[in-house]
Amino acid sequence: MTFVVRKVRPALDEATIESVIQRWSKNPMLKPRLAKVVINIGVGESGERLQKAVQVLRELTGQEPSIRRAKRTVKGFGIRKGEPIAAVVTLRGQKAMEFLQKALEAVNWRVKASSFDDYGNVSFGIAEHISLPGVKYDPNIGVFGMDVAVKIERPGYRVMRRRRARSKIPRRHRVNKLDAMVYFIKELGAQVVTYG
């Protein structure tokens, strides 16, 4: 049996990080901030297992989860259209930051560079919810994996969500992949890595 050893290396060098931080310091409207964190547990079936997933999310976040339904029928997985199959919670503000710190600790403060998209979003998975700090294993509930999706935005994004005089965010003001990576490295203390 052969094992392939993949080297872990930082995705960004110090010069690139410093140039981005200098740009932020010249114009405070360019400095990104955490908009929201969405936690999703996909169970794939309704019933008792989904109720346990809802209970796990409720205990982890302190909020009532929203139930998501299947968009189409998939016979191979035994899913019918309209059947409840997942639970989702959206966190904002201080709650979002606190949960994100715990989630990053569960993945050893390491996020892959390929997890970032071109619009300032990053998603990563947690294999077992008991790897979050402060969570104990309960045999009545079991173990659930979850997806964590993080939205990063700049000040001024309100103009695209407001009801009156709604407008678009110009391309030059949108958060890009580089800005999101630097935010994770400097503001959250995480490592953004590539495998090679």
pLDDT tens per residue across span 104-130: 999 999 999 999 999 989 999 999 988
Quick check: is 35 in a domain? yes
Number of domains within the chain:
1
pLDDT category at 196 given cuts 50, 70, 90 is low
Structural domain for 38, as ranges: 8-195
Q: In the numeric block, which tokens belong to residue 160?
A: 């695209």
In a domain, 39, yes or no: yes
What per-residue confidence (pLDDT) applies to 79? 81
In whole angstroms, what is the distance from residue 136 CA to residue 102 CA?
14
* pLDDT score, position 146: 93
Bridge partners of 86? 42, 68
Per-residue model confidence (pLDDT) at position 137: 87
The more confident residue out of 42 and 195 is 42
Q: Is residue 3 part of a domain?
A: no
Segment 148-164 mean pLDDT: 93
Residue 1 covered by a domain: no
Residue 87 inside a domain? The answer is yes
pLDDT, residue 3, reads 67
48-107 pLDDT, tens digit per residue, is: 999 999 999 999 999 999 999 988 888 887 888 888 889 999 999 999 999 999 999 999
CATH number of the domain that residue 147 is part of: 3.30.1440.10
Reading across the β-sheet that carries 8-10, which strands appear in turn?
8-10, 191-195, 110-112
Sheet holding 66-69, edge to edge: 66-69, 84-91, 33-42, 146-153, 121-126
